[in-house]
Structure 1
């Protein structure tokens, strides 16, 4: 009975351990899901921030280009004013050619600078887009790694719980077998003791039966001798004795 009671207690402990392991696995899964949600939210915020920065940069570049165009228009107006003032000066033709060359060079230089700035702005825009894509890829990779780690951790926990449960079950089986073996041995010992007691009683009964048989044989022999003496001629009537 003690072995069976211990087996029941160990089974209850195993069930409690399994329940606790399942609860811890659920808690770990919930924590990992919460962490993944926070990471996704952070990735969305980072993506939105990168998009806003790109839009701000694009707007600033557009404003800068507009200012450059406006500056070129103002420069052209000033040049026209200068040309109008120079027309009244003697030798205007020679000076006009010089001014035209200077203005053309200035316009070419300004146009080249604007093209360079536009190319730089376009390159910066491409870099920003590439950086945003790289950031999104990095976030996706981190999320994938976290999900893989979460699955692996949950699988490890379940495997450990199963191993522990299997070991405890094997221990319980061994304990139960030992308890049954001990109980069986006790019953065998008790049966052997009962058998020995019965054999002792039988021996005693046999000895008592032998004694009673011997006494009965002597009594029968005495009776036979007495009857024989009575039957003998010359013997006194009723003079028989019993040994």
Structure 2
């Protein structure tokens, strides 16, 4: 009877841990099924996730050959990244023209018998120049493209929740690395010190190449202050914030 009671307690604890998805990050996400959401506006949803305390750790584009295959691929990537939540939007790639390739009628009439195999239109190397014509036959829809963002929960000690630089950001600002301070929490140490859209280049003299680097550096902050080098309106500015609250 005592053994049954112990087993029941263990089952209860396991069930509780499973449903508390927000407590999982990194390796712990292997214990649960990542949540996958389809949205219309990926940028708007990303901002919403940042405000809820999540950060995007990876983005990718997938060709949606089939729904089941796409969901399986996204889930596997989420587990690989240690992501509890994946969000995606669908983008139509339009259609392509399928051409019907054939030999000109006069030339086709001239070629007969065993020569037809020699002049097979599928073997263009054997066809005399100028004897093949292609005509639009039909339109074929292309598979949609899925734009996917993978998130994990992040308790930012500074109150900064960043996103990756786009290629346009890098070209416009002539930089190769950094992150954008997309959300700065109210009442956090960074409030009024780091502005939304500031580009963070360094934290405590360490280069911040991407969001993962920002998260790692934040997790190892020690002391009462943290120094940033930011890019604001084209100017590099040193900023020091106090972690005392």
TM-score of the superposition, structure 1-length normalised? 0.19
TM-score, normalised via structure 2 length: 0.19
Higher RCO (C-alpha under 8 Å, 6+ residues apart): 1
Which of 1 and 2 has greater Rg?
Answer: 1
Considering fraction of residues, name the structure with more helix: 1
Higher strand content, 1 or 2 = 2
